[in-house]
């Protein structure tokens, strides 16, 4: 495989999914996402509902590969990067009021 870059879509979507899961306190998020596509006869429902963060990430990987935008490895690396950024951010921000970890730098 040639030089590839982490999938930006993988980074953003996985980070957002982790933040939503953190806010809800569970990986079982039951979220509905409306697509940008207009409903057509071949795609009558551009809306997807996901029960878990894992379901979002799984479909994201397949969709980016099947459309031909990325190699599977690029999307997985992007997801891992997004998950790491979300974890780092959630450990340092969005803390309960008065938590002394707020603003700590490593």
Helix (H) or strand (E) holding 21: helix 8-24
Q: Is the dihedral of CA 81, 12, 59, 65 positive or negative?
A: negative
- What's the pLDDT at 1? 53
Q: Are 78 and 6 in contact (CB under 8 A)?
A: yes
Give me 19's structure tokens. Answer: 């933040």
Q: Give the end-to-end CA distance of the chain in Å, rounded to a whole number.
A: 35
Per residue in 20-71, pLDDT (tens digit) is 899 889 999 888 888 777 777 777 777 889 999 999 999 989 989 998 999 9
Per residue in 74-106, pLDDT (tens digit) is 999 999 999 999 999 999 987 777 765 555 555
Residue 6 has pLDDT above 80, yes or no: yes
- What's the pLDDT at 96? 78
- What's the pLDDT at 36? 72
Which residues 6+ apart lie within 8 Å of 21 measured at CB?
Answer: 27, 29, 53
């Amino acid at each position: 495989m040639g030089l590839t870059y982490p999938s930006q879509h993988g980074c953003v979507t996985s980070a957002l999914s982790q933040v939503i899961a953190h806010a809800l306190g569970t990986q079982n998020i039951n979220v509905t996402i409306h697509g940008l596509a207009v409903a057509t006869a071949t795609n009558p429902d551009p809306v997807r509902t996901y029960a878990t963060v894992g379901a979002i990430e799984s479909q994201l990987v397949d969709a980016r590969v099947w459309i031909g935008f990325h190699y599977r490895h690029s999307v997985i690396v992007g997801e891992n990067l997004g998950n790491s950024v979300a974890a780092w951010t959630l450990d340092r921000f969005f803390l309960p009021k008065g938590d002394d970890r707020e603003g700590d730098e490593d």
